[in-house]
Structure 1
Amino acid sequence: MKVALMILAFCIASFAVQVKDVANTVGVRDNQLIGYGLVVGLNGSGDGTNSKFTIQSISNLLQGMNIKVNPDDIKSKNTAAVMVTAKIPAFAKSGDKLDITVSSMGDAKSLQGGTLLLTALRGIDGEIYAIAQGVVSTGGITGGTGGRGGNHSTSASVLAGASVEREIPQNFSQNDNLTLSLKTANFKTANDIEKALNFAFDSEVAQAIDSRTIRLKKPDEISSVEFMARVLEQDIDFVPENKVIIDERSGTIVSGANVEVEPILITHKDITIKIEPNAQAPLGANELDMKDGGIIDPTSNTLRINANKTTVANVARMLNKLGASPNDIISIMQNLKRAGAINADLEVI
């Protein structure tokens, strides 16, 4: 199947963002929970006899209900062993509801129509923080061979399927010394946040420690909650770093509209690229003028760019018109970066 190349561009310019858009509050975060359980009520689409742990789990469950049964006598295909995962947010209280994800561990064909039995969800410390149970839904979950929402989904979800039983200790209200951590390390952003907060509070409440860390000192006259609310809502000028992102699986290239490509000559397989800013060479016999500084010779697979400003977006778009495959375009971009012709971070995902 031919993979189409999609080229996206975004402008890199200074604009106002709030502190919460570029920084996190240290210590205020979600925590991961995990548990092992059983989904029952499946219409013959559960685990087969090869999933020994499922049979043993059923036996253990029944014995816990004072029903003694030999695991060798259990042949049910209406049950599937699953792993249950969830996130418990910061400051969650006992009784709060959590969404959960249920994923098959064995050879079940589908979890559709099943019910998750009571499952303990534990944190990394081994303590139980939530209890999950409920009818699972396979709608909107991709899994197995059935695709999105299909009849063969081995992943499912339960909205509000878990209840918080144990709270994670927090001393936020008693903490006068708080810390911000930038989502992306940047000395200028850290410095800008420090200046903006000190100006807004008219006192030295912020100190940038490094390119990612900003220490905060709460004024005595306001609470920690009010202080952080004002800090996170504070506007700052923000300039994102130029970056080129390549998704090899989908053939997608995302780059800043102003990411320039320096003059270079590169050959990849049967494709030749000549970037010659301000060159005024006349059109050859087989060359086609693309009207935006690019000249293409389809007979020799040559791309000649004669522009005052050549960008990654222009090069990718012209290569696409030349008929280059997504893999070839991605390889060319990577080699342009290696050769130093692209002055931006390149990230392959």
Structure 2
Amino acid sequence: MSLLLASSLSAAKIKEIVNVIGVRDNQLIGYGLVVGLNKTGDGTTSKFTLQTIANMLQSMNVKLDPKDIKSKNVAAVMVTATLPPFARQGDKIDVVVSSMGDAKSIEGGTLLMTPLKGVDGRIYALAQGPVTIGGRNGRGGGALNHATAGRIPGGALVEQEVPFDLYHQNQATLSLKEANFKNAVSIQNILNRYYKERVAVAVDARTIRLRKPANMTMIEFLANVGELSIDYSVKPRIVIDERTGTVVSGVDIEVEPVMITHGDIVVKIQSEKALPAVSEGSDAQNIGANTQVQPGNHAVVTRHGATTVANIARALKKLGATPKDIISILEAMKNAGAIHADLQVI
């Protein structure tokens, strides 16, 4: 399947294509126990789980040798979360719980209080609560698709804030999500024209430094900046889903004349006049305005107008190419200089 995106020139608000340096998420991680499992927890081979149980019980004045613990209702887990910018004490954030040992499932379990630390080793949140498992059929809108990992929505309370005083700043820095000299200069010019003074300067292909006007706070200034629209250039990109074989590309991504042989599949891009006519009753099939699939797993794509990645994808699908075949062929075309776009495999 091939999906077509808009052309390489798009309109968007500035806030959609930039980040404000300093306004960022922070990753948190912790180690804990999930209890209440119905004999689906870690076995006796997960010694770190047994030691953790013994340590927890000892903190409650219950001394027990880890070798004497035979419970299969407990699983050791890693707990991860994302601390959003400007999160305050008492705010709730979602956490992801993932089994570390040989537990068969953590469904129905409860995570015991787990400190979540940042890269600096400080505790920023405490997680606890019932683990939910969703979307085990793989279709659940971003839900985890196996029973050894789950989520706790709002399962962590923020205990410590990440200090960042934006209000009293006189300067700020924008970072483009994708480096582009033209886009950086466009943002600079739009802001300077809008405020009728030099409030922005592009220092490289990704960075724009801002100086707020005297009659505004930094919060008001960034809010206004984010709402301004810009026509920005999008770098051509082809995205391939390795699992499904879905190809997403821009409508204007052309493919130059080339011939690629991959196993028993041959893709030849040639001029329209070199393409043999398909007579009625012929074994060759037209599968698009510019594309014919001929006997022997050959796809011949003409240069009528412009051959695009969409033509190639349809031809390869018709030939029964697997997702790996499609990836290999498109990568070979890019390496040969026939495709002038970034290729991203997800």
Q: Post-superposition shift, 1:302?
A: 4.6
Q: Deviations over 1:39-96 (max 9, x none)?
A: 1111111111111111111111111111222222211111111111111111111111
1 CA distance for matches of 2:69 and 2:181?
63
**Partner residue, 2:340:** 343
Secondary structure at the counterpart of residue 174 of structure 1: coil
Out of 312, 323, 326, the position equivalent to 1:329 is: 326
Paired amino acid for 1:28: V
Please tell me whether the aligned partners of residues 113 and 137 of structure 1 are also in contact (alpha carbons under 8 angstroms).
yes
The match for 2:228 among 234, 241, 250 is 234
Q: Could you tell me which of 14, 20, 23 is aligned with 2:15?
A: 20
* 1:188-203 correspondence to structure 2 within 5 Å: 188-203=182-197
TM-aligned CA distance change 1:250 to 1:299, over 3 Å: closer
Give a deviation string over 1:167-211, Cα, whole Å, max 9, x none.
Answer: 111111121110001110000111111111111212111110000
Partner of 2:311: 314
C-alpha separation between the residues in 2 aligned to 1:223 and 1:269? 63
Q: Determine which of 21, 35, 41 is the counterpart of 1:46.
A: 41
**What is the CA RMSD across the aligned residues, in angstroms?**
2.2
State how 1:281-292 maps to structure 2 within 5 Å.
Answer: 282-283=276-277, 286-290=283-287, 292=289
Match of 1:261 among 233, 252, 255: 255
Q: Give the structure-2-normalised TM-score.
A: 0.91
Relative to structure 1, is the Cα distance of residues 222 and 321 closer, same or farther in structure 2, using a 3 angstrom cutoff? same
Rounded to whole Å, the distance in 2 between the matches of 1:46 and 1:268 is: 47
Please give the TM-score of this superposition, normalised by the length of structure 1. Answer: 0.90
Quote how far apart the aligned CAs of 1:36 are.
1.0
C-alpha distance 52-33 of structure 1, shift in aligned 2 (>3 A): same
Distance 1:163 1:304, change over 3 A: closer
* Residue 291 of structure 1: how far off its partner (Å): 5.7
Say how many residue pairs are matched: 339
Distance 2:105 2:153 in 1: 19
Deviation, 1:215, is 0.4
Cα distance in 2 for residues equivalent to 1:164 and 1:210: 36
Aligned AA (2:87) = A
Give the % identical residues. 52
TM-superposed deviation, 1:309: 1.4
Match of residue 5 from structure 2? 10
Query: Aligned equivalents of 1:239 and 1:127: distance in 2?
Result: 41
1:3 corresponds to: none
Pick aligned residue for 1:133 from 128, 136, 139: 128
Out of 277, 281, 290, the residue aligned to residue 293 of structure 1 is 290
Alpha-carbon distance in structure 2 between the residues aligned to 1:300 and 1:161:
54
Name the CA shift for 1:302/1:133 in 2 (closer, same or farther; >3 Å): closer
Q: What is the CA distance between 1:257 and its match in structure 2?
A: 1.0
Q: What code does the residue aligned with 1:216 have?
A: L
The separation in 2 between residues aligned to 1:149 and 1:128, in whole angstroms, is 26
Q: Does 1:115 align with 2:118?
A: no
Query: Which ranges of structure 1 fall in alignment gaps of 5 or more residues?
Result: 1-5
Which blocks of at least 5 consecutive residues in structure 2 are unaligned?
none
Q: Give the superposition deviation at 1:278.
A: 4.0
